[in-house]
Structure 1
Amino acid sequence: MTQAQPPIPGTTVFDGEQAQKGYALNKMCYAFNSAEQRAAFKADEAGFMRAWGLNEEQTRAISERDVLGLLAAGGNVYYLAKFAGILGLDVQDLGAAQTGLNKEAFKARLVAQNQQPDTLAA
């Protein structure tokens, strides 16, 4: 029997419910692997999102480039990275947005955390 993990303040856990909620969004973002699909999105964002069946929350978050909103709308960071690539962003940019830091501060935080002793191994 597994024990439920306590929530992490300020995060959205990507679980089965979020996966179902974000299915259309993540499927659309996966399509960005194709240069043709990226070009179609850039040519008509609203039409592209309608064609993929995004709901109002997802459409708003894409339109506003709201990373936290995309996560709350069921977005998976690995698929959202494909969308971020269209904007010239990378996964560290997404992490910075999630934590409210700029990219350099986020990178410094990652380095500092990697220098901490592993408390989970004890």
Structure 2
Amino acid sequence: MNLIKWINFQSHEDYRGQLVSLEIGRERTVPFDVKRVYYIHKTGPDVSRGFHAHKNLKQIVTCVAGNCRMVLDNGKSRQSVKINDPTKGLLIESMVWREMHDFSNDCILIILASDHYDESDYIRDYHQFVEQVCQ
């Protein structure tokens, strides 16, 4: 099973630069209603983040500057991918463990979430995650 699912954003480029648009509810764009948007920046290259899964939440992660490495794990397989293209978003389904590593100094990640922040939706212990996902 491939955990790496890219969504291509609409991109328009001319002499003025590039414009990337994300539209809700259209084919090949954001496949869920966005309830929360947040970004991660100023993360050093020796810092790792994530280390959790969500029971219900879905996310799209895109890197608008710089790059980092994302690790996705469904309890059976583990895949790693570099995020470095602002015209593509990585779709992360619910019940997928995620880790972020190897941030470039200029990395800015934007995350679109299918719901508001809810601490009870998080699974922060990997062994507990594997037990739940493999039931």
Q: How would you bin the TM-score normalised by the shorter chain? A: under 0.3
Q: TM-score, normalised by structure 2?
A: 0.23
Larger fraction in helix:
1
Higher relative contact order (CA 8 A, sep 6+): 2
Bigger Rg, structure 1 or 2: 1
Larger fraction in strand:
2
